[in-house]
């Protein structure tokens, strides 16, 4: 590229690294604090960044075990974090797989099969996708309140209801996968058709194997989205044993019962798996995000 004077270059390098390091310190500050708080005694955060009397109390509680303090008193876990995490994972997996199945099949149809009114339907899906489900919360509440009288499985406080609502989040993912299918050479499905394959067989044996990378991206994105949902879950779920992590975590920082230390340990514990999955998948996530978003 352009030749730069070595002295200018060195100053620029120092400036860039300096900026990066100061910025990172600011950005990573919350992470260090939470880690430190989780090892601190008590539930208030007075103390230095490196805990003076480190304790594992909050961690033991976060894993759901009783903790015996030095003076012999036994502390019980305030909330069932592991149960909440399991609820979140269960709902995320079920809804994620459902979304994946619906989105992949629909995307294939939108990309390859001739359907009347396809363009209009695609436009409609795109417009609807902009309306977040959170806006229809009042109706969702009323609907499931009424359905609960038919069967509690479909009513408030049920995981099934939550999964059904999450399935509606399929639109964005149809677009992402369709963008991927559009980039596959049409010669492939023509060849399959000449060999006598039905569209379903073409999908099942040609497109599905090809779509594995984009499907894993969509699955991770959908899964993370469902784990992160707060508004819908908070409206539909009421009892403590049915809560997801996002709904339950809030209880820790109640004005009248402020469990800062316990929250810190529980937060690290429950955030870790998702963070790891995300960091592994991030390269593919980016291409998935921008491909799906921009291909018209």
Give 80 or 231: the residue with its C-beta nearer to other proteins.
231
**What SS3 class is residue 257?**
strand
Strand pairing partners for 253?
258
Give 68 or 134: the residue with its C-beta nearer to other proteins.
134
Residue 147 CB partners (closer than 8 Å, separation 6+): 154, 155, 161
DSSP 3-state helix, strand, coil percentages of the chain (rounded to 5)?
75, 5, 25
Cα–Cα distance between 36 and 175 in angstroms, integer?
A: 42
Instruction: Please state the closest distance from residue 69 (CB atom) to other proteins, in A.
Output: 21
Tokens standing for residue 56: 């594992």
Instruction: Please state the closest distance from residue 267 (CB atom) to other proteins, in A.
Output: 5
Instruction: Please state the closest distance from residue 142 (CB atom) to other proteins, in A.
Output: 7
Residue 31: how many other CB atoms lie within 10 Å: 11
Tokens standing for residue 282: 């991030």
Instruction: Please state the closest distance from residue 235 (CB atom) to other proteins, in A.
Output: 6
Instruction: Please state the closest distance from residue 291 (CB atom) to other proteins, in A.
Output: 9
Cα–Cα distance between 264 and 68 in angstroms, integer?
A: 19
Give 77 or 226: the residue with its C-beta nearer to other proteins.
226
DSSP output for 78-130: SS-HHHHHHHHHHHHHHHHHHHHHHHHHHHHHHHHS--TTHHHHHHHHHHHHT
Instruction: Please state the closest distance from residue 86 (CB atom) to other proteins, in A.
Output: 15
Give 68 or 86: the residue with its C-beta nearer to other proteins.
86
Nearest to 175 by CA among 80, 108, 107: 107
Instruction: Please state the closest distance from residue 192 (CB atom) to other proteins, in A.
Output: 9
Give 24 or 56: the residue with its C-beta nearer to other proteins.
24
Nearest to 32 by CA among 231, 292, 224, 264: 264
**What SS3 class is residue 39?**
coil
Measured between its terminal Cα atoms, the distance across the chain in Å is 35
Give 56 or 142: the residue with its C-beta nearer to other proteins.
142
Tokens standing for residue 72: 């012999």
DSSP category for residue 133: G
Instruction: Please state the closest distance from residue 145 (CB atom) to other proteins, in A.
Output: 10
């Amino acid at each position: 590229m352009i030749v730069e004077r070595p002295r200018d270059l060195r100053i620029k390098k120092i400036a860039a690294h300096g900026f990066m390091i100061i910025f990172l310190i600011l950005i990573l500050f919350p992470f260090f604090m939470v880690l430190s708080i989780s090892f601190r005694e008590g539930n208030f955060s007075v103390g230095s960044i490196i805990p003076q009397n480190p304790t594992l109390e909050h961690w033991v509680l976060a894993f759901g075990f009783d903790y015996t303090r030095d003076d012999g008193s036994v502390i019980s876990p305030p909330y069932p974090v592991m149960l909440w995490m399991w609820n979140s994972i269960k709902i995320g997996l079920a809804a994620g797989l459902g979304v994946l199945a619906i989105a992949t099949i629909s995307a294939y149809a939108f990309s390859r099969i001739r359907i009347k009114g396809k363009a209009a339907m695609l436009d409609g899906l795109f417009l609807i996708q902009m309306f977040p489900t959170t806006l229809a919360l009042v109706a969702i509440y009323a609907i499931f309140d009424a359905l609960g009288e038919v069967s509690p499985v479909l009513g408030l406080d049920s995981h099934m209801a939550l999964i059904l609502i999450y399935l509606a989040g399929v639109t964005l993912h149809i677009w992402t996968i369709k963008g991927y299918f559009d980039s596959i050479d049409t010669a492939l499905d023509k060849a399959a058709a000449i060999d006598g394959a039905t569209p379903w067989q073409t999908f099942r044996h040609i497109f599905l194997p090809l779509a594995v990378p984009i499907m894993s991206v969509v699955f991770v994105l959908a899964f993370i989205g469902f784990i992160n949902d707060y508004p819908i879950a908070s409206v539909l779920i009421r009892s403590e044993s049915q809560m997801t992590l996002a709904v339950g975590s809030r209880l820790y920082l109640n004005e009248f019962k402020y469990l800062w230390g316990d929250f810190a340990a529980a937060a690290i514990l429950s955030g870790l798996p998702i963070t790891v999955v995300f960091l592994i998948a991030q390269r593919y996530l980016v291409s998935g995000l921008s491909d799906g978003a921009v291909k018209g």
